[in-house]
Structure 1
């Protein structure tokens, strides 16, 4: 029997199979910096904050049962570290660009770190963490060069994806709730069961809805997973009622005016992670209802 020797494995040039993930920083002053090799500054290897967050697991135990019962978990603020290279062609360029970059950070007002582009982009709000101990080993005004490690913190540690939005249009009696052609626009009426109304949450964590009710609509009920909002506020034609159910915000406005008190006590529920959930939407009138959520992810990709 003849012996056949396999061809030696050839490692592809990584530059031919992949490009570095796009990253940018938008500071508190609105200025945006692209963070990649060859930019000012350039992101070096050793970035922290892109992968899994810290998860503090809460458990309980009993002397009658070996081991422990895992009850819940909590994700604290996320530590972020950027190893940055600053390189300029002149002292004046160094002074201008270095100042512009560091002036875009604040210790309590967040800027936005973006990773990826288009539909794949995810964002994380960051604030600066400064202890005042950085040392320049060589005067950068002489060399135009310095490596600086930047400590940052994400008070809200989950990466935010692109918004998921469903629009439901009011209709006169006789218009079917499910349209003839597939799409993301559905018709609503007070005598529909809305059993097929749903929204996707592709994220890793439950996400709360923002509802926008465009008049004219009355007798409005909105909800998800058994948590129903009874809206006693009529929304006339030309007006818009916005209800943000996120526990970090939880407000209602009618044409920009705060009507949270008028909405009264309500039970807000999140859309569970990783699937499709039914919505409850009932109203009378020919306006529209928009249900929107922002998926929350553990990682930047």
Structure 2
């Protein structure tokens, strides 16, 4: 285990949580994480007969996989005081819970704690192989060793989200920019107002924001000149705009498709290590209206 990693936690699709470093739930990582130190990519460069060298284009990031060897067995930290290590039916229940944390249809969350903050990876099950040595029954021994492989839709590790709230205020004479130590930062805008903020992307690759607009309000949101217009929302209605190209979606408060709630759209990313001006314009806002920006930075590695 790298000295830069202080914890590895898995949150399964079944709600089960496993601390793979300390083994407090009966599953422990017996080797390091593999396959995720740097995602592979293809350069989209242009070469011409007359040109010297190349014209640098974009990058196409390939899907990534994460590999881990995990032992499902009680440790001294997972056994209540005075109880014995689980075998038989109790161990089978533990084993089912661990396997149920993964699926090829839904992503499982892996969170690594590092000195630079948490890094998360969301991966779907690609394989789960039993590599336990010996031919005995696993429940009698109370132990099984698995080679686990997860594949991510997005090839990056993600850091802690940066959140900005733009809130309606009936009696705010001016836009209010909260105290410098506010966490998360928040902004209060009048019913008809234009609010802006300078947002830093601390990650290593471009990051696309997610916007959530809650009525009653008509809104315009975006980065710089790249603006998206949200049609009038009634009180209690909301629209979430996920602008990341791989997972791009516009949904309503019930999670249904809501592309009809935007009049026009122009999505853009904040470049890595740079700051951009974001725009949140309210028209006809009333009590309860708000605009939230969530920016999740992307990293090439968890280290």
Q: Which residue of 2 is the match for residue 36 of structure 1?
A: 21
- The answer to whether the 8 A contact 2:123-2:152 is kept is yes
Structure 1 180/153 Cα, relative in aligned 2: closer, same or farther at 3 Å? closer
Cα distance in 1 between the residues matched to 2:92 and 2:214: 50
Structure 1 19/234 Cα, relative in aligned 2: closer, same or farther at 3 Å? closer
Cα distance in 2 between the residues matched to 1:150 and 1:212: 35
TM-score by length of 2: 0.77
How far 1:254 sits from its partner (Å)?
A: 5.7
Structure 1 70/138 Cα, relative in aligned 2: closer, same or farther at 3 Å? farther
Q: RMSD of aligned C-alpha atoms?
A: 3.4
How far 1:35 sits from its partner (Å)?
A: 0.3
Q: Which residue of 1 is the match for residue 87 of structure 2?
A: 91
Aligned length: 283
Q: For each residue in 1:115-142, what CA deviation from the matched residue of structure 2 results, as whole angstroms up to 9, or x when unmatched?
A: 1289922221122223868574342535
- The answer to whether the 8 A contact 2:114-2:302 is kept is no
- The answer to whether the 8 A contact 1:189-1:282 is kept is no
- The answer to whether the 8 A contact 1:190-1:282 is kept is no
Q: For each residue in 1:226-282, what CA deviation from the matched residue of structure 2 results, as whole angstroms up to 9, or x when unmatched?
A: 211123x22344443433333323214267664322424422122222232101222
- The answer to whether the 8 A contact 1:162-1:295 is kept is yes
Q: Which residue of 1 is the match for residue 221 of structure 2?
A: 222
How far 1:224 sits from its partner (Å)?
A: 0.5
- The answer to whether the 8 A contact 1:119-1:162 is kept is no
Higher mean displacement: 247-256 or 260-269? 247-256
Higher mean displacement: 52-61 or 252-261? 252-261
Determine which of 120, 126, 131 is the counterpart of 1:123: 120
Cα distance in 1 between the residues matched to 2:107 and 2:254: 27
- The answer to whether the 8 A contact 1:43-1:82 is kept is yes
Cα distance in 1 between the residues matched to 2:271 and 2:33: 30
How far 1:149 sits from its partner (Å)?
A: 2.3
Structure 1 176/29 Cα, relative in aligned 2: closer, same or farther at 3 Å? same
Please list every run of 5 or more consecutive structure 2 residues that lacks an aligned counterpart in the other structure: 75-84
Q: Which residue of 2 is the match for residue 53 of structure 1?
A: 39
Structure 1 119/250 Cα, relative in aligned 2: closer, same or farther at 3 Å? farther
